[in-house]
Structure 1
Amino acid sequence: MARNISLNFRVVEGRDLPAKDVSGNSDPYCIVKVDHEVVARTATVWRNLNPFWGEEYTLHLPLDFHHLAFYVLDEDTIGHDDIIGKISLSKETIAAASPRGIDSWLNLSHVDPDEEVQGEIHLDVKLLAEAQGPRLRCHIIEARDLAPRDLSGTSDPFARIFWGSQSLETVTIKKTRFPHWDEVLELHGEEGPLRVEVWDWDMVGKNDFLGMVEFPPDVLLQCPPSGWFRLLPFASAEDDAGGKLGALRLKVRLAEERILPSVYYQPLIELLVESVMSPAQDDAMTPLALLDEVSSGESRQDIATQLVKIFLGRGLAVPLLDYLNLREVSRTTDPNTLFRSNSLASKSMEQFMKLVGIPYLHEVLKPCVNRIFEEKKYIELDPCKIELTRTRRISFKGTLSEEHVRENSLGLLIGYLGEILEAIVGSVDRCPPAMRAAFRQLHQRVEDRFPETEHEDVKYVAISGFLFLRFFAPAILTPKLFDLRDQHADPQTGRSLLLLAKAVQSIGNLGQQLGRGKEQWMVPLHPFLLQSIIQVKAFLDKLVDIDAEGALEAQPRLLFPPSAVIKEGYLHLRKAEAGALVPRFAFKKRYFCLSSETFSYSKAPEWQVRTSIPVCRICAVERVDENAFQQPHMMQVITKTRDGQLDTMYIQCKNVNELNQWLSAIRKASVCNEGMLPSCHPGAFRGNRWTCCLQQDRTVQGCSRTHSAVTLGDWSDPLDPDAEAQMVYRQLLLGRDKLRKKYIEFSKDEIKLEQEVTQGQSGPGGEGSAVPEQERPPTAAAAAHLLAVIEDLEQAHKTFEQQEKEQPARGSLRS
Structure 2
Amino acid sequence: MASACCAPLEAAYETCQQHTLRLIDILDIKIVEARGLLVRPGGSCPEHCVRCVVKMDNEEIFNTSVAAKTPNPYFGEDLHFELQKKFRLLSFYLFDHYSGRAARPLGKITFRKEDIAKYSDQERWFNLQPLNGNSDVIGKVCLEISCERLNQEGNRHEVMYRLKVRMVDVCDLLLPASRKTEVYALAHVQWEATGLCIATEKLHACQQQDSKQRENVAYFDLPFFTTEVGQKRDEHEQNVCAGPNGKGSLFLRLSVWHDLPRSSSTFFHGEVRLPLMCPNQFDESKLAWYYLKPRLRGSERISRTQGGEESTRTVDTHGSLKLQLRYTVDHVLCSSHYNQLWTLLLHSLNVQPFRASVLALISYLPKSESDRIVLPLVRTFVHSNHVKPFVCVLCSEEILQCQDVNTLFRNCSFASRCIFELMKLVGSQYLVTTLKPCLDKIFLERKSCEVDPDRLTPGQSLTNNSRNLIIYAESMIIRIVDSSNHCPQLLRDIFRVMRDVTAKYYPNRVDMQWLVLSSFLVMRFFAAALLNPKSFGLRQDLPDSNVSRTLALITKVIQRLSNFVVCGRKLSDKEAFMVPIWERFSDERHRVAFVKFFDRISCAGSESSTTCDSVTVLKEGLLYEYKDVRTDCLGRTCSSSKPRHCYLTENEFYWCKQKESTRLGQLYLSDVVLIQPAERKNRGRRMFQVATRKGIFSWEAVSCAEMGEWVALMKRTCERQWLNIQQASDCSQLFEIDAEQQLENIHLTLLRYIETFRSWKDFFENQRSTLTQEFPMLQLFSEPTIRQVTLQSLQSILCCTYTLEEKHSLALANHFKQVKYGSKDLPIGDDNYLLLRSRLRKYAAAAAAASWRDEADTAVTTTAYTHGSLLPVEQTTGSSG
TM-score per shorter chain, which class? 0.7 to 0.9
1:605 aligns with 2:605: no
> CA separation of 1:338/1:604 partners in 2, compared to 1, >3 Å: closer, same or farther?
same
Q: Which residue of 2 aligns with 1:729?
A: 747
SS at match of 1:5: strand
1:163: how far off? 1.4
The corresponding residue for 2:845 is none
Equivalent of 1:376, from 413, 426, 446? 446
Over 3 Å counting, the alpha-carbon distance change for 1:321 and 1:36 in structure 2 is: farther
1:429-459 deviation line (CA, Å, top 9, x unaligned):
2222322232233334445556798xx7554
Distance 1:153 1:501 in 2: 57
Distance 2:184 2:214 in 1: 8
Is 1:120–1:143's contact at 8 Å kept on the other side of the alignment? Answer: yes
Residue of 61, 68, 87 corresponding to 1:39: 61
Counterpart among 399, 422, 425 of residue 478 in structure 2: 422
1:338-381 C-alpha deviation (Å, 9 max, x unpaired): 33443321221121111100111111112112222232334433
Corresponding residue for residue 160 of structure 1:
186
Are 2:688 and 2:699, in contact at CA under 8 Å, matched by a contact in 1?
Answer: yes
Question: Per-residue deviation at 1:422?
Answer: 0.3
For the residues of structure 1 that align with 2:576 and 2:182, how far apart are their CA atoms? 66
Number of equivalenced pairs: 691
In 1: Cα distance, 2:440 partner to 2:182 partner? 47
1:731 to partner: Cα distance: 0.7
CA deviation profile, 1:445-488 (whole Å, cap 9, x unmatched)? 445556798xx755434322322232222322333333323333
Structure 1 CA distance for aligned equivalents of residues 760 and 401 of structure 2: 19
Q: Structure 2 vs 1, CA of residues 479 and 775 (structure 1 numbering), >3 Å: closer, same or farther? A: closer
Q: Distance in 1 between matches of 2:117 and 2:339?
A: 29
Q: Per-residue deviation at 1:544?
A: 5.5
Aligned match of 2:52 in 20, 24, 30? 30
Say yes or no: does 1:651 pair with 2:699: yes
User: CA 1:125 to 1:172, structure 2 compared with 1: closer, same or farther past 3 Å?
Assistant: closer
Deviates more, 1:41-50 or 1:805-814: 805-814
Structure 2 distance, partners of 1:795, 1:457, is 52
1:744 Cα deviation after fit: 1.9
Alignment partner of 1:60 out of 82, 85, 97: 82
- Amino acid in the other structure paired with 1:476: L
Q: Which amino acid aligns with 2:40?
A: D
Asked if structure 1 preserves the Cα contact closer than 8 Å seen for 2:173 and 2:269, the reply is: yes
**2:538 maps to what in 1?**
484
Of the candidates 789, 800, 808, which is equivalent to residue 811 of structure 2? 800
Tell me what 2:859 maps to.
Answer: none
Alignment deviations for residues 160-199 of structure 1 (CA, whole Å, 9 cap, x no partner): 22212132335799xxxxxx99933334446621112223
Taking a change above 3 Å as real, the CA distance of residues 130 and 17 of structure 1, as seen in their structure-2 partners, is same
How far the C-alpha of 1:638 sits from its partner, in A, is: 12
CA distance in 2, matches of 1:105, 1:329: 44
Q: Is the 8 A contact 1:570 1:592 kept in 2?
A: no
Q: Alignment partner for residue 435 of structure 1, among 487, 491, 499?
A: 491
Q: Is the 8 A contact 1:743 1:780 kept in 2?
A: yes
Q: Secondary structure at the match of 1:315?
A: coil
1:757 counterpart residue number: none
Aligned to 2:598: 541
1:194 and 2:274 matched? no
Deviation at 1:426, TM superposition (A): 0.9
Over 3 Å counting, the alpha-carbon distance change for 1:154 and 1:472 in structure 2 is: farther
- Give me the CA root mean square deviation: 4.9
Equivalent position to 2:362, from 267, 270, 291? 291
Counterparts in 2 of 1:533 and 1:567: CA distance versus 1, 3 Å: closer
User: Which residue identity does 2:443 align to in structure 1?
Assistant: F
Segment of structure 1 superposing worse, 431-440 or 731-740: 431-440
The residue number in structure 2 matching 1:707 is none
Asked if the contact 1:75/1:81 (under 8 Å) is kept, the reply is: yes
Q: Describe the SS at the equivalent of 1:47.
A: coil
Q: Which amino acid aligns with 2:701?
A: C
Call closer, same or farther: CA 1:649–1:605 in 2, change over 3 Å: closer
Q: What displacement does 1:546 show?
A: 1.8
Q: Deviations over 1:747-774 (max 9, x none)?
A: 339999xxxxxxxxxxxxxxxxxx9997
Give the corresponding residue for 2:169: 142
**2:23 counterpart of 1:4:** yes
> Would the alpha carbon gap of residues 751 and 742 (structure 1) be closer, same or farther in structure 2, given more than 3 Å must change?
closer
Equivalent residue in structure 2 for 1:185, among 193, 218, 227: 218
Aligned residues of 2:176 and 2:682 also touching (Cα < 8 A): no
2:351 maps to what in 1?
Answer: 279
- Rounded Cα–Cα distance in structure 2 between residues aligned with 1:487 and 1:447: 42
Q: Secondary structure at the match of 2:362?
A: helix
Q: Deviations over 1:177-227 (max 9, x none)?
A: xxx999333344466211122235345585443222211112775137633
Once the two structures are superposed, what CA deviation does each residue of 1:27-53 show, in whole Å capped at 9, x if it has no partner? 233322333332222354563544444
- 1:290 is displaced (CA, Å) by 0.7
C-alpha contact (below 8 Å) 2:561/2:591 kept by paired residues: no
Alpha-carbon separation, structure 2, partners of 1:537 and 1:784: 48
- Looking at structure 2, the residues matched to 801 and 730 of structure 1 have their Cα atoms a distance apart, in angstroms, of 15
- Unpaired segments ≥5 residues, structure 1: 174-179, 389-400, 556-565, 627-632, 640-646, 670-714, 753-770
Mapped contact 1:158–1:171 kept (Cα < 8 A)? yes
CA shift in 2, pair 1:110/1:608, >3 Å? closer
What's the offset of the Cα at 1:333? 0.9
Contact 1:142–1:181 under 8 Å retained in 2: no
> Structure 2 CA distance, aligned partners of 1:48 and 1:507?
39
Aligned counterpart in structure 1 of residue 311 of structure 2, from 208, 219, 239: 239
Q: Which residue of 2 aligns with 1:218?
A: 277
- Evaluate the alpha carbon distance shift between residue 86 and residue 588 of structure 1 in structure 2; reply closer, same or farther with a 3 A threshold: closer
The sequence identity of aligned pairs, in percent, is 24
- Pick from 313, 326, 348: which aligns with 2:396? 326
Residue of structure 1 in register with 2:140 after alignment? 120
Sort the Cα spacing of 1:648 and 1:142 in 2 relative to 1 into closer, same or farther, 3 A.
farther
Deviation at 1:727, TM superposition (A): 1.1
One-letter identity of the residue aligned with 2:642: F
SS at match of 1:115: coil
Q: Confirm or deny that 1:573 pairs with 2:625.
A: yes
Report how far residue 305 of structure 1 moved. Answer: 0.9
| Counterpart for residue 756 of structure 1 | none
TM-score by length of 2: 0.67
Contact 1:3 1:259 in 2 (8 A): yes
Q: What is the CA–CA distance in structure 1 between the aligned matches of 2:710 and 2:316, rounded to whole Å?
A: 37
Taking the aligned partners of 1:244 and 1:427, their CA distance within structure 2 comes to 53
Q: In the aligned structure 2, how far is the partner of 1:252 from the partner of 1:182?
A: 47
1:421 Cα deviation after fit: 0.5
- The residue identity in structure 2 corresponding to 1:114 is N
Aligned AA (1:425): V
Corresponding letter in the other structure for 1:15: A
Higher mean displacement: 218-227 or 112-121: 218-227
Task: Tell whether the 8 Å contact from 1:45 to 1:53 is kept in structure 2 after alignment.
Answer: no
Q: Does the 8 Å contact 2:506/2:512 carry over to 1?
A: yes
Q: Within 5 A, what are the aligned runs for 1:575-724?
A: 575-577=627-629, 587=642, 589=644, 604-605=665-666, 620-621=678-679, 624=682, 635=687, 651-653=699-701, 658-662=706-710, 718-724=736-742
Output aligned runs, 1:513-528, within 5 Å.
521-528=577-584
Superposition deviation, residue 538 in structure 1: 0.8
One-letter amino acid of the counterpart of residue 747, structure 1? E
| Residue 777 of structure 1: how far off its partner (Å) | 4.4
C-alpha contact (below 8 Å) 1:576/1:650 kept by paired residues: no
Selected match of 2:337 from 260, 264, 278: 264
- Aligned AA for 1:438? I
Match of 1:102 in 2: 122
